[in-house]
Structure 1
Amino acid sequence: MTLYERDEFVERLQYRATVWRYLKLVVSGWWADRRARGARRRAMVELAEMEDWQLRDIGLERSEVDRLLNRHGMARDQVKALEAR
């Protein structure tokens, strides 16, 4: 193997490593986003299940929780269906 061939081979290996590193970053970012979205959804369901006095204790109103649910495409009916599971 000549010096030129070795350098070309090393360059190709580095490129492959870079591509795999990039794919790993993309997949790990997607997975973290998916987990965060699930945590936000669970938090919204938990807020929707709270009584009005509990919401007032943490400084929220029922209308704010309903607005949050609507903004993220969840209606109170969907929350009740999730509770039934």
Structure 2
Amino acid sequence: MSKHPGPSLAQHPMPWWRSGYLWLIIGLTLAMLAGGVVTVWLASQQPHAPVAAPPSQAEQGGSLEPAMQARNRTSSRNAKALGTGGD
């Protein structure tokens, strides 16, 4: 029996456009570029006014004093419980 070796890759290299990884790299690059262009285009369309932060309780006329008193009272109780002082 005689074996006839088939054509090797060195004799018949695959054309560059038949490589799957090449198209994966080209496709992902083009997808990223298209996404960037669409993002810039969307961002440039009718820019919205900046959103202002909601006014805090102090700006609305409410007082933070009850919260401060409660915090101080709790700190005093904890200090007494630990025996480190407190009034």
Q: TM-score, normalised by structure 1?
A: 0.41
The one of the two structures with greater contact order (alpha-carbon pairs below 8 A, sep at least 6) is 1
When you count helix as a share of all residues, which structure comes out higher? 1
Normalised by the length of structure 2, the TM-score is 0.40
Q: Which is greater in Rg?
A: 2
